Amino acid sequence: MATILPAENSPVKLLEDIKESIDTQDLPSAINTIKKYLEKQELEELNIGVTGESGSGKSSFVNAFRGLGDDEEGSAKTGVVETTMKPEVYLHPKYKNVKVWDLPGIGTPKFQAQKYLELVNIKLYDVFIIIASDRFKECHEHLAKEIIRMGKKFYFVRSKIDFSITAEKRKLKNKFDEKNTLHSIREDCKNGLRKIDVKDPVVFLISSWELEKYDFNLMEEKIEQDLPQHKRDVLLSALPNITLEINEKKKKAQEKNIPRVAFLSACVAAVPLPGLSIAVDLAIIIKETEKYFHVFGLDDKSLQNLCERSGKSVEHLKSLMKSPLHGGINPASVLTLLGTASLAVAEDAVEFAVSLIPIIGSVVAGGMSYWTVSTMLQRALDDIAEDARKVLLDIVETEV
């Protein structure tokens, strides 16, 4: 549902503010003003608190959620003993506004849920995740009870499912049934939650080494449903692109942002500064398409990490990509989205001419720029999302 802006933040007021700020600026300064405005729109924070017993895989989950391996730069420390003695915040490598907190372990003899939540400042978190690598225990019960008492939501994750599956296979041999094993693990955790009066308990079975398997996608969907709308888009941008469902959700989230960005272009088009509109449109489109590549995990660093995990080469994955931007994002490649540079230059000249006509001229120029930017961004998004889908399918086929 569209948000109704208050008067002070209405489109008309926004137009006047931008016009006023760039009317007296030269071209480079005006473009920088627009870039800063776009950056301010991406400052919404999402704080995720991850807790559980020592050795339950908290730190590995923190890393996996951020698309990192345990030994990569910026990853949370992992070990067989508790390595987190106080709340440690880890920023998402691409989205600094997404903060994943590795919280101290629970389950020690001195553990007291109420004092623990005061220590870690429970009010800070939008999402609270309790992780267990074994059976549902008393410490989980005490912590969950206290979180509920304080009016917060939590999500219970049973980690290291891949290890549990391997152990059951070894023990049961020919009698092993993966479906029954997963059901048994899930029910054990649910029964523990029912004991503390959690109605319709939900338990997510996860392997931090194989996020695409088991319940990571279900966990993401549940958290997404519970978050307010402005936080949902932040979550979707930060999630690793590991399933077709997530890929499609990412696309829809980015589509919702296109009208806002195109409107900004329309505002600029109404300012009679020669060369401003085409320069700003290119700057906007380049910045947004760069964001798309990061969101879908097609930037160079993400592709390299994907290759290390899958055994594929970067050249092979890039050969699957058909977007005209995959070879590099620059003014020349961006202009291919509409065919030729002459079309954009001609458009800019017309915009400048009509913007000199009071009132009506500004509306016409703004409308032309809005259509141009929204069309180019939609095409770029379609192409990049499709490239991400092809890469994902190729990786999945290899793993199968």
Using CA atoms, how far apart are residues 390 and 377, in angstroms rounded to an integer?
A: 20
- Tell me what pLDDT residue 386 has: 92
Locate tokens 């003003």: which residue? Answer: 33
- Tell me what pLDDT residue 287 has: 80
Under 8 Å CB-to-CB from 279, ≥6 apart: which residues?
Answer: 27, 31
Contact call for residues 101 and 125 (beta carbons, < 8 A): yes
- Tell me what pLDDT residue 79 has: 61
Whether 43 shows a pLDDT value over 80: the answer reads no
Q: pTM score > 0.95 for this model?
A: no
What average pLDDT does the segment 229-236 reach? 80
Whether 225 shows a pLDDT value over 80: the answer reads yes
Q: Among residues of the chain, what percentage have pLDDT more than 90?
A: 3
List, in order of start, the domains of the chain with CATH numbers.
7-40+250-399 (no CATH), 46-240 (3.40.50.300)
Under 8 Å CB-to-CB from 228, ≥6 apart: which residues?
Answer: none
What average pLDDT does the segment 170-197 reach? 86
Using CA atoms, how far apart are residues 38 and 261, in angstroms rounded to an integer?
A: 8
Whether 258 shows a pLDDT value over 80: the answer reads yes
Cβ–Cβ contacts within 10 Å for residue 386, how many?
17
Whether 238 shows a pLDDT value over 70: the answer reads yes
pLDDT tens digits, one per residue of 321-363: 887 666 666 555 655 655 543 344 444 444 444 444 343 334 4
Q: Among residues of the chain, what percentage have pLDDT more than 70?
A: 70
- Tell me what pLDDT residue 365 has: 47
Using CA atoms, how far apart are residues 252 and 14, in angstroms rounded to an integer?
A: 25
Q: In degrees rounded to 5, what are phi and psi of residue 177?
A: -135, 110
Contact call for residues 248 and 297 (beta carbons, < 8 A): no
Coil, helix or strand at residue 288:
helix
